[in-house]
Amino acid sequence: PSLAASYRSAFHFQPPDGHWMNDPNGPVFYKGYYHLFFQYNGLAAVWGNITWGHAVSSDLIHWNTGPIALAPDEWYDRQGVWSGSATVLQDGSVVLVYTGLTNQSVQVQNLATPVDAADPLLRQWKKSPQNPVISPPPGVNNLDFRDPTTAWLAGDGRWRMLVGARLAGSGAALMYSSPDFRTWTPTSAPLHAVPGSPMWECPDLFPVAHNAGLPLGVHPAGTPYVLKASIDHTLTDSYALGSYDAATDTWAPRGPDDVSQGRLLDYGKYYASKSFYDPVKGRRVLFGWIYETDSQQSNIRRGWASVQALPRAVELAADGADIVQWPVAEVDALRKHAATLRNVTLPPGARLELPGVAGCQLDLELAFTLPPQDEAAAPPPASAASEPSRCSPEGSAGGGALAVGPFGVAVLAAGAERTAAYFELARNGTAAVARVCTDLRAASLAPDTDRGVYGSAVRREGDGATLSMRVIVDHSVVEVFAEKGHTVVTTRSYPLGAMDQEARVFLFNNGSNSVVLQQATAWSMNSISISSI
């Protein structure tokens, strides 16, 4: 197979005809189908000529694409149909709100509705004669006003919606209200802003609960809300947990972390995420854009760029201190041919091939037992004390001042190439901080690829004696979910040799203490086929 085919995802969504895709837009469940729209250039594998592509699924995993839903054909979106959201109104009808870049280079918000509301596949859309319905307010630059959220009905019977912005030097989520979904007026203050933060793209505000999902709308005071913003300077999705005050239409963080200054939804190459409430399974589901990390020439040569991440269910952690993200259960239906390994000690320097598993379409679940922590023998804190959350720049090689590890799994491994997903424990004062990391330093011998080390601290479940991770490999995509999804790291690998059936899986321990592999289960994964409807 050609390199282009080998890197192409087999069970992550991407348009069947290739070309360019970026942000997920307007996810919604309507008349028995999940709909996903996406920023799409059907002419080339580069950003530009942005339309809304459209895909439909009955299980969030198997998709078929429909015709382009929205194209730049009006003065108010002539330079691009940019990101936005879908809202289901009280009568069950659906409305899209999206950003148009006008012929005068102004970002405005526009409405579109189905041509035939009875069509469950929602193949044709018409734009509202009232467009544009919102223009940049005073204090907001014409190019800093975009990405409307799904709207919700507030206690006063009016709709609320957010728009990302930069307002007087602050990244901000502006709030608008409407009695009829046509006439929108700004609320008296932004929902939230962080002074000095860059522009907030693709804001998302949603309530969270443990073991459940919550729809947008009115919830009891004290319900935790995630506020997320996409920070374009770093191409990262930053979030914080906070409280939404319905009386003032404002949100405030609950802890020291604020949006753009706290945790990331994903510590790898994941951006512009957007959630929706799935009424079928009562869960909140998050889509996100996994971008390419090699050169634009490589994208053009391959003829396609970007995939959508596997949809993730998002919940509040049991102790309420953070959120957990986990691939929706429907992903498990793609699993076949399991191989299992139990109770294997990995001494320092261990490198053990996982038998019966190879290839580029894998789902691995690994649990490790840690050695008892001997405080006295622990090495000095070293750099870990100053930056406890950052992965060691040495990557998976070890030899640093770690208490335990690095230990974990190498995937897409053959010859000198491998992508390592692993844990390391660093001393932070008297506590040990666990971090989950992905090391791309040896991921590819190709000259134009990323050689970074990505990851962050992970909150440990239970008594801290075990650490678990799930690693999903789909050709060039590697998604790592640590400790039930407290920390997620998604990266891209473009090996020259470690592809297709050449790619092997190894367990390793490059630390100075033994760890025990409690259990490894590895599945090879079926492909999906995506065609047009």
Binding positions for ligand DQQ, rule: CB under 6 A: 22-23, 39, 50, 82-83, 99, 146-147, 201-202, 230, 271-272
- Residues counted in the chain: 533
Among 528, 526, 530, residue whose Cα is nearest residue 55: 530
Cβ–Cβ under 8 Å, residues 228 and 172: no
Residue bearing tokens 């100075």: 512
Q: How far is the CB of 452 from ligand DQQ (least distance, A)?
A: 20
Nearest by Cα to 7 from 330, 444, 529, 356: 444
Q: Cβ closer to ligand DQQ: 184 or 407?
A: 184
β-sheet bridge partners, residue 271: 289
User: What is the rounded CA–CA span in Å between residue 357 and residue 197?
Assistant: 45
116 belongs to the catalytic site: no
Phi-psi region of 485 (alpha: psi -120 to 50; beta: other; left: phi over 0): left
Shortest Å distance, C-beta 102 to ligand DQQ: 14
**Between 239 and 271, CB nearer to ligand DQQ:** 271
Please, what is the minimum distance in Å from the beta carbon of residue 236 to ligand DQQ? Answer: 11
Closest CA to 166 of 206, 207, 107: 107
Least distance (Å) from ligand DQQ to the CB of residue 104? 17
For ligand DQQ, give the closer residue by CB, 22 or 456. 22
- Residue with Cβ nearer ligand DQQ (30 or 291): 291
State both tokens at 14.
């991407």
Cβ of residue 286: shortest distance to ligand DQQ, in angstroms?
15
Q: How far is the CB of 272 from ligand DQQ (least distance, A)?
A: 4
> For residue 74, which phi and psi values (nearest 5 degrees)?
-130, 160
CA 78, CA 483: separation in Å to the nearest integer? 46
Q: b or e along 223-253 (b: 16 or more beta carbons within 10 Å of the residue's beta carbon)?
A: ebbbbbbbbbeeebbbbbbbebeeeebbbeb
Q: How far is the CB of 42 from ligand DQQ (least distance, A)?
A: 14
**CB-based contacts of 84: which residues, under 8 Å, 6+ apart?**
25, 26, 96, 97, 98, 99, 109, 147, 148
* CB closer to ligand DQQ, 81 vs 453: 81
114 in Cβ contact with 143 (< 8 Å): no
d(CA 37, CA 256): 35
Of 17, 23, 258, 374, the active-site residue reads 23
Tokens of 83: 């990101």
Nearer to ligand DQQ, 272 or 404 (CB): 272
Alpha-carbon distance 70 to 112, whole Å? 8
Measured from the CB atom, the residue of 73 and 353 that comes closer to ligand DQQ is: 73
- Taking the C-alpha atoms of residue 395 and residue 280, their distance in angstroms, rounded to an integer, is 42
Largest CA distance in the chain: 72
> Could you give the CA distance from residue 271 to residue 308 in angstroms, rounded to a whole number?
10
CB of 230 to ligand DQQ, least distance (A): 6
Query: CB-wise, 11 or 276, nearer to ligand DQQ?
Result: 276
Catalytic residues: 23
